Amino acid sequence: MAFYSSFGAASEVTGSCHLLEIGHIKLLIDCGMFQGKEETLNYEEFGFDPRKINYLILTHAHLDHIGRVPLLVKKGFKGSIICTKATFDIAKLMLKNSAGILQEKEHPLYTMDDIEPVLNLFDTFLEYNQSLNLEEDIRISFKNAGHILGSASLKVKYEEDGMKKSAVFSGDIGQQSRIITSALDCWHKANYIFIEATYGDRQHPNLALSINDFKQKIVQKTHHGGVVVLPSFALERTQEILYLLRQLSLEKKLENIPVFLDSPLAINVTKTFTNYPELFNEEIKTILNKGENPFSFKELTTCYTKEESIQINETQGAKIIIAGSGMCEGGRVKYHLARYLQDRKNMVLFIGYQVGGTLGKKILAGEDTIEIEGHLIKINATISCIDGFSAHADQKELIHFIKNIKDIYCINLIHGDKTKLEIFKEKLSHELKDKVHIVKMKERIYI
């Protein structure tokens, strides 16, 4: 018999962690960190015995999908970790960075010493459109999820009493139109679907219009002498920003406007990206084939050390600062916010989802004053956001993903706020005849 249980990202967005039990074999799909107002859940017990998990399958390298893997290993997991090679290379960077931040806290989930034992368990790499037999009656396959570099959706085929069954786990799936990475690939047959619904309640703004809006905001503010601070996620979003700024540079619209990438993690991730030219869209592949770097341009300065970061302040006048973290919860961006938020001629431009309870969400929500490192900072700068860059599929694209799949017994909704899941369920129930279920935390479902 086969059973599914969720221990994260059930009626919530972060902490993805899904257990699939097929007979005596236990597969864990992702083991992510809870973020924002759900952060305290990281300190609770997993709800299952990590020592009894046979395989951990990672869909991609965002922390809300891999951030608790070191804790899982600390608690006794000794099984095999399976993912794409790109996910592994990026996960190494993300986990080391996470450990470096956590070990400064009073009660860290894990420290840098816990990372090497995790990396030793990555012993199997599975690429897109490849399959792997885990056990005699259990076979897994990956397809490109179109979310970030190396991201995959997962299909598990299994057999019960002579009956062949299958389940698809979407991971996080992206929009069909992407700035740098290739588009998602859909599945065509499965009995059970466990699909993210982060934006199941809406349609995204047009990507081309969003790109144009981004460029206009950058040019307008900097050409009037302002500083633009871009709180950015080191993985995927920073590389998209760099590529668009490169376009502005080639158009001569960044003349005498320095751009600073102030994030060691983002610098390392960007270097890793260029090792996988086959995973980009055709536009980026063309640039790489010319021997050019799509993420570099003459105005760009990378700031790896703290000393280089501090020197940014010595540059007077208009400039662009890209710094992490994307939700302003840590990293160097907080120091830039403290310095530049108080001046009306400057702008903080958000280009990423802000989880409730984070500093980024508070700024974006329009609060007049925020606290950074014990200091109250008055917000006078322009606060703006671009919504159309999302790496997540919207309602229309999620439905398209589902409609490609035949032989569905049940559609299970995960990875979304409760109200959004309800809206998406109603939409699916209206358009499709399939059974739709919103997964609850720790609910055990027979499949």
Of 370, 385, 400, the residue that ends a domain is 385
Residue 350: what pLDDT?
A: 97
Q: Does 161 score more than 90 pLDDT?
A: no
Q: Does 352 score more than 90 pLDDT?
A: no
For residues 419-435, give the mean pLDDT: 93
Residue 62: what pLDDT?
A: 97
**436, 314: one domain:** no
Give the C-alpha distances (Å, rounded to integers) separating 67 from 13, 105, 343, 413.
Answer: 14, 16, 36, 22
CATH number of residue 314's parent domain:
3.40.50.10890
Residues 6+ apart with CB under 8 A from 103: 110, 111, 112
Residues 6+ apart with CB under 8 A from 44: none
Residue 404: what pLDDT?
A: 96
Confidence label for 97 from pLDDT (cuts 50, 70 and 90): very high
* Domain limits for position 26: 2-202+390-446
- The CA distance from 31 to 269, in Å, is 21
Pairing of strands 18-22, 25-29: antiparallel
**138, 233: one domain:** no
Give the C-alpha distances (Å, rounded to integers) separating 196 from 67, 348, 392, 404.
Answer: 18, 29, 9, 16
**285, 347: one domain:** yes
Residue 136: what pLDDT?
A: 87
**261, 305: one domain:** yes
**158, 242: one domain:** no
The three-point CA angle 167-412-326 to 5° equals 100
**36, 81: one domain:** yes
**314, 396: one domain:** no
Q: Does 258 score more than 90 pLDDT?
A: yes
pTM: 0.95
**141, 256: one domain:** no
For residues 349-373, give the mean pLDDT: 92
For residues 90-109, give the mean pLDDT: 95
- The CA distance from 305 to 322, in Å, is 15
**367, 236: one domain:** yes
For residues 245-270, give the mean pLDDT: 98
For residues 271-292, give the mean pLDDT: 96
If one counts the domains in the chain, the total is 2
Q: Does 357 score more than 90 pLDDT?
A: no
Report the percent of the chain where pLDDT is more than 90: 93
**196, 132: one domain:** yes
Q: Does 387 score more than 90 pLDDT?
A: no
Between helix 237-250 and helix 207-222 the angle, nearest 10°, is: 60
CB contact burial 203-221 (16+ within 10 A = b; e otherwise) = ebeebeebbebbbebbbeb
- Greater confidence (433 vs 358) lies with 358
Confidence label for 330 from pLDDT (cuts 50, 70 and 90): confident
Residue 296: what pLDDT?
A: 98
Whole-angstrom Cα Rg for the chain: 22
**221, 188: one domain:** no
**225, 258: one domain:** yes
Of 367, 385, 403, the residue that ends a domain is 385
For residues 226-254, give the mean pLDDT: 97
- The CA distance from 155 to 192, in Å, is 10
CATH number of residue 73's parent domain:
3.60.15.10
- The CA distance from 339 to 102, in Å, is 25
Please count the residues of the chain. 447
Of 385, 411, 437, the residue that ends a domain is 385
CA nearest to 122, candidates 206, 56, 196 = 56
The DSSP bridge partners found for residue 55 are 27, 80
Which tens digit of pLDDT belongs to each residue from 288-312? 999 999 999 999 999 999 999 999 9
The answer to whether the beta carbons of residues 34 and 66 sit under 8 Å apart is no
Tell me how far the alpha carbon of residue 422 is from its chain's centroid: 23
